[in-house]
Amino acid sequence: MPELDLTVSSADLTRAVCDIPSVSDDETTLADAIFAAVSSLTHLEVVRDGDTIVARTQLGRAQRVVIAGHIDTVPVNANLPVREVVEDGETFLWGRGTVDMKAGVAVQLKLAAELTDPRVDITWMWYDHEEVAAELNGLTRLAANRPDLFAGDFAILGEPSNGQVEGGCNGNLRAIVRTHGVRSHSARAWIGDNAIHHAAPILQRLADHTPADVEVEGLVYREGLNAVRISGGIAGNVIPDLCEVEVNYRFAPSRTPDEAVGIVRDFFAGFEVEVVDLAGGARPGLDAPLAQEFVAAVGAEPRPKYGWTDVARFSALGVPAVNYGPGDPSLAHHDQERVPVAQIDAVERGLRAWLAVR
């Protein structure tokens, strides 16, 4: 079993964590290594649930912060092992997981080992299956098995945010918009009715749409409504009787999931709409006193998080939560995924500045 030395630098630990591949559904080797590394730390109580590891202090502090990160990645695409690259004088760690989100996990692991006497009690969570369906997510399982472990006054998710504090997140809806027709041989098209042609107004409405900017508790969330997939037709000589446009609506956290469904149904009025995925957003979470102290300590101007993240799970449980991690989220899942070493160090300093000083 590979061993993780939690005393090396966060950058070196990032490299070590990345070099243990842990594509979703194959996290056990890394979970074993994390479990072994944190089990030797006497200031932490460690719980394991499948490939999710929870380690927490029990210092009797007045407040508790949950700090979480997922340990799985999307599939490797010839971008492991990690290598160091220099671009325009800046040093990066390049490879799968460096951004999403093993640099964040590495910082958390290092601080979990180091911070034996933090200002608040801390519950560290490293979990599996974030990059796949929500029902497989380690937090879904943990919330069912051990809801008590989610107790806290504030939560920080290590999702990449370029070392900035990103509050809350947009909600996320996916729907299939369908057109129907009548199948026929394409040599006698007039016998049939072309479902693909009927999809023209669906695409035109999307092309003409200007997404809204919505201010929520001082942060401006940019929405988005897009076709993400389209399919129709079964053969080169058959008039198709079905066309399906999969659309993705990213909605501001001020809208409820039900409101988002209504907006999408109205937008595609006249067409069959089937909602296939729906997750509410999370309000910024920055009004919590701990959040304000955190923002002040790391010295960052909070921004909105556009992508849905597991902060919404904490928000739904009544725990205000923000995203804070190294890496550019637009490089997540990218074949050129890479994180600036300076950001790893900055996030480590930011978290320590807030957690260490009593």
Name the residues that contact a copy of itself, by CB under 8 A: 170, 172, 174, 184-191, 194, 196-200, 203-204, 206-207, 211, 222, 224, 226-240, 243, 245-246, 248, 250, 277, 306-308, 329-330, 332-333
Strands 121-127 and 64-70: parallel
Shortest gap between Cβ of 27 and a copy of itself (angstroms)? 21
Helices 28-39 and 103-114: angle between axes, nearest 10 degrees: 20
Q: What is the DSSP string of 27-72?
A: -HHHHHHHHHHHHT-TT-EEEEETTEEEEE-----S-EEEEEEE--
CB of 256 to a copy of itself, least distance (A): 19
Nearer to a copy of itself, 118 or 240 (CB): 240
Q: Which two tokens stand for residue 119?
A: 């200002």
Catalytic annotation, residues: 72, 130
Give min distance, CB of 197 to a copy of itself, in A: 4
Instruction: Specify whether the CB–CB gap between 317 and 69 falls below 8 A.
Output: no
* Shortest Å, Cβ 225 to a copy of itself: 8
Q: Report the C-alpha gap between 242 and 316 in whole angstroms.
A: 38
CB 309 within 8 A of CB 157: yes
